[in-house]
Amino acid sequence: MTELYFIRHGQTIINQEHKINGAHVDTALTATGVAGAQAAGRELQQVQFDQVFVSPQKRAQATAKLVLAPNLAAPALQIAAPLHEMDFGDWEGRSIDEGNQDPALRRFFVDPAHYDPSSFHGETFASVVARGQLLLQQLVSDFPQQRLLIVGHGTMLTLMVRSALGATVGEIMTQPQLANTSISVLQGKSADSLELARWNDIHFLTNIA
């Protein structure tokens, strides 16, 4: 059985400023983001990972390094290009409140079945789900009986995990997304038989500074 641990990156400056994160903007972790990643590291300190895969974006890599710092047996980070965050095109780095005035972007949450980002050069849900599922199938196939850590982004990981369990995009996007430095776990013998063992767990963040 393969075990896959998923962690969303810690809070970033853009998160704190309520701006739109994405595939091309990449600000540093805040103090809260650092503390959250360190708390996740303490939570997983005794878990022995065989492989670690991380998004090419710096906020995810910084989070992974903090999570693994207390784990003396942690393997080296491997960059997985498909783990990059969803691309929000022209809206990246701009105010979420401003973005909500654009009917096309607003459909992201309120009407995901009809979300069409072509007007602002963004990425479709179909694209994100496809690259996420292809990577997941590859990881489960290539690393049977291993425990993997995957560090990435809110929208990407939410779609990746929940679509693997059979949820539609509409079902996924009308529910809360993964929280910063949350831990989720899938396990199974194949990509078609994965089961959810842990979802959006942040109980270990209650006492962070």
DSSP 40: H
Active site residue 18: no
CA distance 2 to 149: 11
Beta carbons within 8 Å of 146's beta carbon, 6+ residues apart: 2, 3, 50, 51
Active-site residue among 9, 43, 84, 153?
9
Torsion of CA 6, 71, 187, 159, to 10 degrees: 10
From the list 3, 43, 84, 85, the catalytic residue is 85
Map residue 47 onto helix, strand or coil: coil
Task: Give the chain's radius of gyration (CA, Å).
Answer: 16
9 is catalytic: yes
Query: Are the C-beta atoms of residues 32 and 9 closer than 8 Å to each other?
Result: no
Residues 34 and 59 sit within 8 Å (Cβ to Cβ): no
> Which residues are CB-contacts of 175 (< 8 A; sequence separation ≥ 6)?
none
Active site residues: 9, 85
